[in-house]
Amino acid sequence: MTLFKTLSLCAAALMVSAVSVAKELPPAGGKPSNFVVPETRQVSLDNGLKVTFIPYGTTPKATVRLVTHTGNIDDGGKIWLSDLSFEMLRQGTANQSAQALATSVASMGGQIDTSVGLDSSWLGTDVLSEFADDAVAVIADMVLNANFDESDLARIKVDRQRELDVAKSRPSSKATEAFYHKIYGNHPYGQLYPTQESLASITAEETAAFVATNLVPNRSHLYVSGVFDEAAVLAAVKSAFGEWQAGAEPQRKTVLAQAGPSVTVIDRPDAPQSTLRLGLATFGPGHKDAMTMNVMNTLLGGAFSSRITSNIREDKGYTYSPRSSVMDRVGTGFWYQGADVTAEATAASLSEIVKEINLLANEHPSEKELMGVKNYMAGIFVLRNSSRGAIISQLAFTELHGLDASYLQTYVDKIYATTPAEVSNVVKQYLDVSKMHLVVVGDEADVKAQLATLDGLFAL
């Protein structure tokens, strides 16, 4: 037999084998298990600081994170004051310079991170397990003995001014800022960016006052997750934070969302795309229909395979990355659909989005379609929370929103308990297009001309 014939026969055999393999279906995936929160132990200091220990995993690392119920909600009219204040905590203390601080934490196998949110902010680090107690002392030093030097703030503000300029130049930022303002008005939830003048006017003294007023033990929770010596860490906590003085409790007012409808067009002359934000205020994560809303959103526009995405991206080619989201706020929340669509398809895109909303309201999804959404959501939830930091984030989320301790344990079960009828009903009850706010960033004349073709749906 010639070499050519031998190779030909081998190739044919491989092709037959490949076809056979291709016809064999993989085993059906099982239902994801409920998210199991690791065993925790919580203690409280006399000053009100809560401390939660979360033994987790076997990797010799520990995450130490101080979470405080403060953020942009406490900016007091000086937007980004909280952001600058937390950044100032990283600039050295009365006991060590910023470089010495960074070097010290690096020698523990980590780095200091901070994150500022609307209602909750944190600073913390991931370190080797043997240094967990030392990390506690470092964080306490940053909180209690920060320098608040004006020269450090000047440098930080230069960087932040640059970030502000970039954000203000982006259509997506402009659209989001206008949309948030339409929903929440002058409440901090509706104030996304400062002016250049406002940012420049913030002083080091104001950042120090922000920390002294808002970063206090009775509004804070220290989480330690991973592998660590609990006795040693608790001793370090009591030593480092025991003298921290409690502060005043925050005064929170009821958030009043602005009722729609409204239409806002922000001119971007000759823009090749229109940036869309369409949505309205709904409710927070503690609402009885919150889980159904999340399932509905994933099916409607919150995943790559969702209906709106399949329609205006895959079928029509109007946009590359549309996405709908449920956004949680304390005591409130909102739903919105966002997309960057080709300019000439502005009205057509809005028409298709509205069509999909109304279709889901009036016709229940099939069990098969809904089950695909459930499997996706359950799997993502479990995978997303399989780390030291993620567990801390989930526990902090439930505390911030006053959710029951069973919220995390029953999350997956609640996903699978959602019915097709409930999905349609939540659309019908809460996603009334006639009450939505619409923001479009694009060529104003063209956008307005296209909106006029939608039979008064989005009347200017």
pLDDT in tens, 39-98: 899 999 999 999 999 999 999 999 999 999 999 999 999 999 999 999 999 999 999 999
Pairing label, strands 61-68, 121-128: antiparallel
Assess whether 63 and 97 both reside in one domain.
yes
Least Cα distance to 240 among 143, 97, 122, 120 occurs for 143
Residue 312 scores a pLDDT above 90: yes
Let me know if residue 32 belongs to a domain.
Answer: no
Residue 299 has what pLDDT?
98
Assess whether 167 and 293 both reside in one domain.
no
Residue 164 scores a pLDDT above 90: yes
- Which of 181, 209, 241 is where one domain is finished? 241
Strands (E), 200-306: 220-226, 262-267, 273-281
Residue 430 has what pLDDT?
98
Q: In Å, how far from its chain's centre is CA 264?
A: 25
Residue 254 has what pLDDT?
83
The least confident of 16-30, 161-175, 407-421, 427-441 is: 16-30
What is the tally of structural domains in the chain? 2
Assess whether 430 and 290 both reside in one domain.
yes
Assess whether 172 and 207 both reside in one domain.
yes
| Edge-to-edge strand list for the sheet holding 220-226 | 41-44, 50-55, 220-226, 61-68, 121-128, 113-116
**Average pLDDT for 223-237:** 98
Bond prior to 188 in cis (omega within 30° of 0): no
- Domain span at 364: 262-451
**Average pLDDT for 394-398:** 96
Let me know if residue 14 belongs to a domain.
Answer: no
Assess whether 219 and 143 both reside in one domain.
yes
Residue 385 scores a pLDDT above 80: yes
Residue 326 scores a pLDDT above 50: yes
Assess whether 270 and 387 both reside in one domain.
yes
Let me know if residue 11 belongs to a domain.
Answer: no
Residue 161 scores a pLDDT above 80: yes
Per-residue pLDDT tens digits for 165-204:
999 999 999 999 999 999 999 999 999 999 999 999 999 9
Let me know if residue 24 belongs to a domain.
Answer: no
CB 160 within 8 A of CB 311: no
Distance (Å, rounded) from C-alpha 220 to C-alpha 215? 7
Distance (Å, rounded) from C-alpha 129 to C-alpha 283? 40
3-class secondary-structure state, position 320: coil
- pLDDT tier at 10 (50, 70, 90 boundaries)? very low
Assess whether 273 and 404 both reside in one domain.
yes
Let me know if residue 16 belongs to a domain.
Answer: no
Residue 398 scores a pLDDT above 70: yes
- pTM value is 0.90
Residue 31 has what pLDDT?
65
Strands (E), 219-346: 220-226, 262-267, 273-281, 323-329, 332-342
Let me know if residue 13 belongs to a domain.
Answer: no
CB 338 within 8 A of CB 274: no
Q: What's phi and psi for 419, nearest 5 deg?
A: -105, 160
Q: Structure tokens of 59?
A: 């990797």
Least Cα distance to 323 among 334, 307, 347 occurs for 307
Residue 12 has what pLDDT?
43
Instruction: Fill in the amino acid letter for 210.
Output: F
Q: What's phi and psi for 455, nearest 5 deg?
A: 55, 45
CB 71 within 8 A of CB 190: no
> How many Cα atoms occupy the beta-carbon half-sphere of 276 within 13 Å?
33
Assess whether 237 and 269 both reside in one domain.
no
Residue 6 scores a pLDDT above 60: no
- Report the Cα–Cα distance between both ends of the chain, in Å, rounded: 81
The least confident of 195-199, 348-352, 380-384 is: 380-384
Residue 453: other Cβ atoms inside 10 A: 11
Assess whether 237 and 382 both reside in one domain.
no
Q: Any idea what DSSP says for residue 92?
A: B
Assess whether 96 and 189 both reside in one domain.
yes
> How many Cα atoms occupy the beta-carbon half-sphere of 47 within 13 Å?
21
**Average pLDDT for 227-254:** 94
Q: Is the dihedral of CA 278, 281, 286, 288 positive or negative?
A: negative
Q: In Å, how far from its chain's centre is CA 185?
A: 21
Let me know if residue 102 belongs to a domain.
Answer: yes
Residue 68 has what pLDDT?
98
Radius of gyration of the CA atoms of the chain, in A: 26
- Which of 211, 241, 271 is where one domain is finished? 241
149-152 own/partner pairs: CB under 8 Å, 24+ apart: 149/91, 149/92, 149/204, 150/203, 150/204, 152/88, 152/91, 152/92, 152/98, 152/204
Distance (Å, rounded) from C-alpha 319 to C-alpha 316? 8
Q: Structure tokens of 123?
A: 């600073």
Let me know if residue 456 belongs to a domain.
Answer: no
Assess whether 208 and 329 both reside in one domain.
no
Q: What is the CATH number of the domain that holds 227?
A: 3.30.830.10
- Which of 182, 208, 241 is where one domain is finished? 241
Q: What's phi and psi for 336, nearest 5 deg?
A: -150, 155
3-class secondary-structure state, position 366: coil
The fraction of the chain above a pLDDT of 70, given in percent, is: 92
Residue 35 scores a pLDDT above 80: no
Assess whether 292 and 435 both reside in one domain.
yes
CB 82 within 8 A of CB 64: no
